Amino acid sequence: MAPYNALAIANYLLDKAKSEGNPLTPMKLLKLIYFAHGWHLALYGGKPLINEQVQAWDYGPVVSSVYHEFKKFGSGRIEQLGTDMDLSTGEIVTPRIALDDQQTIALLDKIWEIYGKYTGVQLSNLTHEANSPWTSVRNDPENAGMRSVGIPNLLIQKDFELKKAA
C-alpha cells in the first residue's frame, strides 16, 4: 500500500479509542501516529506509513496536518473524525484506511494494544528520550532557533530498528 494520508491513520485510531471508551487527546493521537509510523518504517524496510514528514516541534514530534485538524480540542478529548479535501473533486472527505489492508490494520491494532494505555504526556516523554530522533534533530546546532524542522524517516527507522532488536 502507498503511504496514507495521516488523517486516515488518525481516524482509525479515533474509531478504535471510541469503541473501547478510551478517548484521545490531540497530544496522545499525535504520539500514537508517530509510534505507528516509526514501527512501520522499522518493520517494512523503510516504507513510510504516512505521506507527510514528521516535524520536530518544540514539544515533540508532530504530524502537522493532524495537529492543525485537531488543535481546536486543546488538551481535551477529540470529539470528531478528521476530514480533508479531495483535490480531484473538491469534496470534503473522511480519510480511511483501506478495509483490505490487513497489514496496516494489524500494526495499528498492536500500536493501540501497546501504547494506547499511556497518556499523551507519557508518550511524549518516550519521544524525548536521549538519542531519540526528536532529541537528535532538536539538539543539532544547524537547527538552532528553528521552531520546526523535519525528522528524516531514516533517522526514525533506525531508532525503531534498535527498539525492535532490544
Q: What's the pLDDT band for 147 if we cut at 50, 70, 90?
A: confident
CB 129 within 8 A of CB 135: yes
Is 63 a member of any domain?
A: yes
Q: What range does the domain containing 115 cover?
A: 6-165
Is 1 a member of any domain?
A: no
Q: Which residue has the cell 520536530?
A: 56
Is 120 a member of any domain?
A: yes
Is 64 a member of any domain?
A: yes
3-class state of residue 160 by DSSP? helix
Is 19 a member of any domain?
A: yes
Is 161 a member of any domain?
A: yes
3-class state of residue 74 by DSSP? coil
Is 23 a member of any domain?
A: yes
3-class state of residue 146 by DSSP? coil
pLDDT confidence of residue 29: 98
Is 82 a member of any domain?
A: yes
pLDDT confidence of residue 2: 72
Work out how many domains the chain is built from and give that number: 1
Q: Three cell numbers at 51?
A: 505521506
Share of the chain above pLDDT 90, in %: 86
Share of the chain above pLDDT 70, in %: 99
Give pTM, 2 decimals.
0.96
